[in-house]
Structure 1
């Protein structure tokens, strides 16, 4: 089943809005291919298939239970969608070895998604992790 660029954009939007914002992990089974590979320099190894995405989303939602993703831009060409996101939340759970700080965060990032047969087949994510760690107080901001 081939999808249009407009359908691909909707698929790319639907995953963070439903899985992360609403906590609907079942949507991951619907939108992520079994052989999906997600690459994110913030995690040591790529994550695979729906279970890998569920594990990642659960980790993020545990660390930032009120996390709210906002899709700022969507650009589609062929089977790829580029999504620019902004996320806000409160650090109320352990995140990447950092104990909860209670601090509010805002982070921006870009995700490139390849859609095949109506599902995420691959993705490449880049987020401002340095800025996040500065907001959490783990890393000093320049000039401090």
Structure 2
């Protein structure tokens, strides 16, 4: 089932509208392919359950997190977005105790869709900006990533 560029943009927008704003993790099963692969600066993971765990962890660490999409462009089976993420580090995140500090970072992401579902996701948040704004030592984040992967 081939989808148009506009349909693909609508599918990607559902991430923000249904999962992030409404907290509807069940929508992950509708939006993402079963064997979806996610590429992040801190590693790669796959599958819908891993995405659900990522959102649960994000919600625990940054309950007030919001995203504003500035640009969304689609061509063929690929969608690109540019957005601003904001929030407050009020809960444990990747083993790092809450700092109570606010952050605002820019993120870009690319999605590849197959049969109306997201099959691959590349995300590139401003991780260094996040670490600096939260007052963390980059080594703390590196250690947390290594511990999370064990």
Asked whether 1:92 is paired with 2:84, we answer no
Q: State the Cα distance separating 1:32 from its structure 2 match.
A: 0.5
Q: What's 1:41 paired with?
A: 41
Greater fraction helix: 2
5+ unaligned residues in a row in structure 2: which ranges?
139-150
SS in 1 for 2:123: strand
After TM superposition, the score normalised by the length of structure 2 is 0.87
1:52 equivalent in structure 2:
50
**Residue number in structure 2 paired with 1:20:** 20
| 2:57–2:94 Cα contact (<8 Å) kept | no
In structure 1, how many angstroms separate the alpha carbons of the residues matched to 2:120 and 2:17? 18
**1:64-143 correspondence runs (5 A):** 64-139=62-137
Please give the alpha-carbon distance, in whole angstroms, between the structure 2 residues aligned to 1:118 and 1:70. Answer: 24
User: Aligned-pair RMSD on alpha carbons?
Assistant: 1.3
Secondary structure in structure 2 of the residue aligned to 1:75: strand
- 4+ residue stretches of structure 1 with deviation over 3 A? none
CA distance in 2, matches of 1:33, 1:22: 21
Structure 1 segments unaligned to the other structure (5+ residues): none
